[in-house]
A and B are shown apart, each in its own frame.
Chain A
């Protein structure tokens, strides 16, 4: 009896403890919310009543694209140290700290701001990014890749939840950045969220021409083409002929190499009039695998697989990416593939290919016949809005918000972005030279300094030591103009057809939409990836394609399209 009483007592005490615990925490979160409400109210009073947020609310600027630096240096009399989280560990060559690089030393001297770099481990970037929110120790500045490092609840929530500064509140700290946003309507619109918030300093590409060039596309071995006496193919029929010749005359193991998913990002498939996943047609969102054209493409590739043209081991390739395994590429086992512009021409020979004739050239996106409509889809590395896929956010908890923002803003000024892209002023004629066109701001990197460095450094280390890889303003020409003519031509050939079917990266879903979309689309993505491969390998018959489409509908693909459409409409309306 006594025992029973004790047990009851214990239970009561424990439940009471739980309830009191709950009460307490909900109370604190309550005050937290009201405090937050307070700050938003303050913000509203700070911005003049009726002033529009978003792109329309940007202050006007006299300068264009940071041509005159508006910042005063040094930024601070007393030296300040800022912590910068940057996922750049894989691109540092042999340097152990970015501060060993000349540019960073120069910029530190100019601004009187020391940067303490925090580098997440290679391969663990997204995990490490998520963990930033769980710790109480947010670095002053966080550099992130917009596609892989996103706050799950969205950009607006990251600002509301008090992690990052809303740049809109501090335009006076970042005049150079504002001048870039003002200079191109598409860039400006894309930078904001649907709610009109500005999440951070978006990396912007300074383009060479009006359109953004893509740095990745279809490539073929010119030396193989010469051996079989054929031209670079332009239609699917020509491709089949060339690939057969590679197979029969040269005995290439994998005449055509593709990713382990069996589809590409539109480089090869778009000529059929479809896309690997979501794309837009006249402002309407479509989903590639639902199209008849997609079925046609699968039938075509299935034929290639049976003929032994498509890499027989494509489904087992280790990398998810598009580039070939080194062993395959270096030992003449691949005839055509999708690769990066920096690897065109004889780059692979320098990297250890066994064949001294190795020569890779770019191909345009193929069409059914030369008179067929142009392909409209391609996944550009940088969208039409020129946003480069990187974003620098400033921690709301930072003690030096103003200095951090001014420090970042400097990168948008011409005198600084030239140095961050090409090497500092004093390295003229060593690391970079002026172009022949007489423009004092037109620099060109010296190819030999980078690729046959006099100190014997590899190209990644040269980059880290003399300039930076992904500065907030990325000058497109810095990568391209130093290369030989063939490489340069590749970029233009790949960009021949505008990627009008591509859905901008910067459409944003609301938090609710995002969780609904993720819930539906994760399974769909897995299912499509799996079926693509099975169709190509013949484990599933293409006669059953209708039941595949029906399953997609049962899994909720139509709802996903609706959600994407809503986000696209909001984006277009910004």
Chain B
């Protein structure tokens, strides 16, 4: 596409690879464990998606079970809860992206403006401590704060909320889920931006100062463009996992009272697949999930390339 003389180029590329292999034998050798890991743990298990198209029976095995085609998919699409779990998954992911993605960036930018090193380090350390707390503990704390008479419930009531305990109200579920996520992951997610910020050439700032740019203008024209490619790559990575809301936290947090907004595809799969050992059906649901996920990722990548010129592939 880019060059004329296609065949000549091809030939030389093969030669380049060959030469490269000869030169970097040791590096290629070091790469083998990674390759083996991905083949064994990521590619071979992919054969398991075959289960989604058959009536899987442990005794008969993957290749001996009866084929049923798309029956499991149709069953899921016709299920009472299909629309609801799909909607909840998308909404939680979307809001999560919308609110929890910018926070670490803003936080990193703020930290970047702090001049006293000791204070900066202290804030950074404190902010990423919650990351090391088990999600089980985070959820128990959340329950304590949001049951009737809990701190957050009282605060909301003071502002005119009349529905009692926040944790048992479907209206609050997403807010609490995403809010606690932000609290827990803020400092940790900011690390990568902070390191990207430190990579910006200080001379640029000096030059800007001479040109008469204030702090705000410096942020706008030097800092942000400086970390733009990092932001785009991370955004695309986040898009890739848009459908995979972590089921652990959902399962810990949801109750029948909040199923309406809390039940997502992965928690549904957990109930159907693990608790009832209905492997084929849950594989089908998960496969559907992955396909949607893949489409979102591809679209995001394309958009990212168009907007900023950098993408994953």
A binding-site residues for B, Cβ under 8 Å: 21-22, 25-26, 28-29, 126-127, 130, 133-134, 152-153, 161-163, 260-262, 312-313, 315-316, 318, 518-519, 522-523, 526-527, 529-530, 532-534, 537, 539, 555
With contacts A25-B64, A313-B168, A315-B165 taken as known, whether A530 is within 8 angstroms of B257 at the C-beta atoms is yes
Q: How far is the CA of A318 from the CA of B80 in the complex (A)?
A: 27
Contact A523 B80 (CB under 8 A): yes
- Interface residues in B252-285 by Cβ distance below 8 A to A read 255-257, 259-260, 263, 271-272, 274-278
Shortest C-beta distance, A321 to chain B (Å), equals 14
Contact A313 B274 (CB under 8 A): no
Q: Which one of B58, B80, B165 lies within 8 Å of A134 (CB-CB)? A: B58
Contact B260 A530 (CB under 8 A): yes
Q: Which of B75, B143, B257 has the most CB of A within 10 A?
A: B257
B168's nearest neighbour on chain A, judged by CB, is A315
Interface size class of B (residues with CB under 8 A): 35 or more
Q: How far is the CA of A534 from the CA of B81 in the complex (A)?
A: 17
Q: Tell me which residues across on chain B come within 8 A of A152, comparing CB atoms.
A: 276-278
Contact A532 B59 (CB under 8 A): no
With contacts A162-B59, A312-B164, A316-B165 taken as known, whether A527 is within 8 angstroms of B64 at the C-beta atoms is no
Contact A529 B147 (CB under 8 A): no
Q: Tell me which residues across on chain B come within 8 A of A162, comparing CB atoms.
A: 59
Q: Tell me which residues across on chain A come within 8 A of B278, comparing CB atoms.
A: 152, 518
Q: Tell me which residues across on chain B come within 8 A of A25, comparing CB atoms.
A: 61, 63-64
Q: A316-B168, A519-B75 provided; 10 other pairs, C-beta below 8 A?
A: A22-B63, A28-B64, A126-B274, A126-B277, A127-B274, A134-B58, A152-B278, A316-B257, A318-B140, A526-B263
Q: Tell me which residues across on chain B come within 8 A of A532, comparing CB atoms.
A: 256
Contact B255 A260 (CB under 8 A): yes
B79 CB within 8 Å of chain A = yes
List 7 contacting pairs A-B, 8 Å CB cutoff, sorted by A. A126-B274, A163-B59, A312-B164, A315-B255, A315-B256, A526-B256, A530-B260
Shortest C-beta distance, A3 to chain B (Å), equals 11
Q: Tell me which residues across on chain B come within 8 A of A161, comparing CB atoms.
A: 59
Q: Which one of A28, A126, A315 lies within 8 Å of B275 (CB-CB)? A: A126
Contact B256 A529 (CB under 8 A): yes
Contact A316 B147 (CB under 8 A): yes
Q: Which one of B64, B143, B168, B259 lies within 8 Å of A29 (CB-CB)? A: B64
Q: Tell me which residues across on chain B come within 8 A of A28, comparing CB atoms.
A: 64
Shortest C-beta distance, A426 to chain B (Å), equals 45
Q: How far is the CA of A313 from the CA of B164 in the complex (A)?
A: 9
B binding-site residues for A, Cβ under 8 Å: 57-61, 63-64, 75, 79-81, 140, 143, 146-148, 164-165, 167-170, 255-257, 259-260, 263, 271-272, 274-278
Q: Tell me which residues across on chain B come within 8 A of A318, comparing CB atoms.
A: 140, 143
Q: Which one of B169, B260, B276 lies within 8 Å of A518 (CB-CB)? A: B276
Q: How far is the CA of A534 from the CA of B163 in the complex (A)?
A: 12
Q: Which one of A133, A261, A519 lies within 8 Å of B58 (CB-CB)? A: A133
With contacts A152-B277, A316-B143, A523-B80 taken as known, whether A539 is within 8 angstroms of B256 at the C-beta atoms is no
Q: How far is the CA of A532 from the CA of B255 in the complex (A)?
A: 12
Q: Which of B58, B146, B278 has the most CB of A within 10 A?
A: B58
- Which 10 residue pairs of A and B lie closest in terms of their CB atoms, listed nearest first? A25-B63, A315-B168, A529-B256, A315-B257, A161-B59, A29-B64, A533-B257, A152-B277, A530-B256, A530-B259
Q: How far is the CA of A260 from the CA of B143 in the complex (A)?
A: 14
Q: How far is the CA of A523 from the CA of B260 in the complex (A)?
A: 13
Q: How far is the CA of A537 from the CA of B259 in the complex (A)?
A: 14
Contact A313 B277 (CB under 8 A): no
Contact A260 B256 (CB under 8 A): yes
Contact A133 B148 (CB under 8 A): no
Q: Secondary structure at chain A's binding surface: helix, strand, loop or mixed? A: helix
Q: Which one of A534, A539, A555 lies within 8 Å of B80 (CB-CB)? A: A555
Contact A153 B57 (CB under 8 A): yes
Contact A312 B165 (CB under 8 A): yes
Q: How far is the CA of A152 from the CA of B275 in the complex (A)?
A: 11
Q: Which one of B59, B81, B167, B168 lies within 8 Å of A133 (CB-CB)? A: B59
Q: Which one of A21, A29, A523 lies within 8 Å of B60 (CB-CB)? A: A29
With contacts A133-B59, A316-B165, A533-B257 taken as known, whether A527 is within 8 angstroms of B80 at the C-beta atoms is yes
Q: How far is the CA of A318 from the CA of B278 in the complex (A)?
A: 26
Contact A534 B257 (CB under 8 A): yes
Q: How far is the CA of A163 from the CA of B276 in the complex (A)?
A: 19
A526's nearest neighbour on chain B, judged by CB, is B259
Q: How far is the CA of A130 from the CA of B278 in the complex (A)?
A: 11
A124's nearest neighbour on chain B, judged by CB, is B274
Contact A312 B148 (CB under 8 A): yes
Contact A313 B57 (CB under 8 A): no
Q: Tell me which residues across on chain B come within 8 A of A316, comparing CB atoms.
A: 143, 146-147, 165, 167-168, 255, 257
Q: How far is the CA of A161 from the CA of B80 in the complex (A)?
A: 34
Shortest C-beta distance, B81 to chain A (Å), equals 6
A554's nearest neighbour on chain B, judged by CB, is B80
Shortest C-beta distance, B40 to chain A (Å), equals 18
Q: Tell me which residues across on chain A come within 8 A of B167, comparing CB atoms.
A: 316
Q: How far is the CA of A28 from the CA of B255 in the complex (A)?
A: 47
Q: Tell me which residues across on chain B come within 8 A of A519, comparing CB atoms.
A: 75
Q: Tell me which residues across on chain B come within 8 A of A518, comparing CB atoms.
A: 276, 278
Shortest C-beta distance, A239 to chain B (Å), equals 23
Q: Which of B146, B169, B259, B260 has the most CB of A within 10 A?
A: B259
Q: Tell me which residues across on chain B come within 8 A of A522, comparing CB atoms.
A: 271-272, 276
Q: Tell me which residues across on chain B come within 8 A of A126, comparing CB atoms.
A: 274-275, 277
Q: How far is the CA of A26 from the CA of B63 in the complex (A)?
A: 8
Q: How far is the CA of A163 from the CA of B58 in the complex (A)?
A: 11
Q: How far is the CA of A549 from the CA of B289 in the complex (A)?
A: 32
Q: Tell me which residues across on chain A come within 8 A of B143, comparing CB atoms.
A: 316, 318
Q: How far is the CA of A177 from the CA of B79 in the complex (A)?
A: 45
Q: Tell me which residues across on chain A come within 8 A of B277, comparing CB atoms.
A: 126, 130, 152
Shortest C-beta distance, B125 to chain A (Å), equals 32
Q: Tell me which residues across on chain A come within 8 A of B259, comparing CB atoms.
A: 526, 529-530
Q: Which one of A260, A313, A523 lies within 8 Å of B81 (CB-CB)? A: A523
Shortest C-beta distance, B214 to chain A (Å), equals 50
Q: Tell me which residues across on chain B come within 8 A of A260, comparing CB atoms.
A: 255-256
Q: Tell me which residues across on chain A come within 8 A of B271, comparing CB atoms.
A: 522, 526
Q: How far is the CA of A526 from the CA of B80 in the complex (A)?
A: 11
Q: How far is the CA of A224 from the CA of B276 in the complex (A)?
A: 43
Contact B148 A539 (CB under 8 A): no
Shortest C-beta distance, B135 to chain A (Å), equals 14
Q: Tell me which residues across on chain A come within 8 A of B140, comparing CB atoms.
A: 318
Q: Tell me which residues across on chain B come within 8 A of A22, comparing CB atoms.
A: 63
A253's nearest neighbour on chain B, judged by CB, is B149
Q: Tell me which residues across on chain B come within 8 A of A534, comparing CB atoms.
A: 257
Q: How far is the CA of A260 from the CA of B276 in the complex (A)?
A: 21
Shortest C-beta distance, A298 to chain B (Å), equals 14
Shortest C-beta distance, A442 to chain B (Å), equals 42
Q: How far is the CA of A130 from the CA of B59 in the complex (A)?
A: 12
Contact B257 A313 (CB under 8 A): no
Q: How far is the CA of A526 from the CA of B260 in the complex (A)?
A: 11
Q: Tell me which residues across on chain A come within 8 A of B263, comparing CB atoms.
A: 526
Q: Which one of A133, A313, A523, A527 lies within 8 Å of B165 (CB-CB)? A: A313
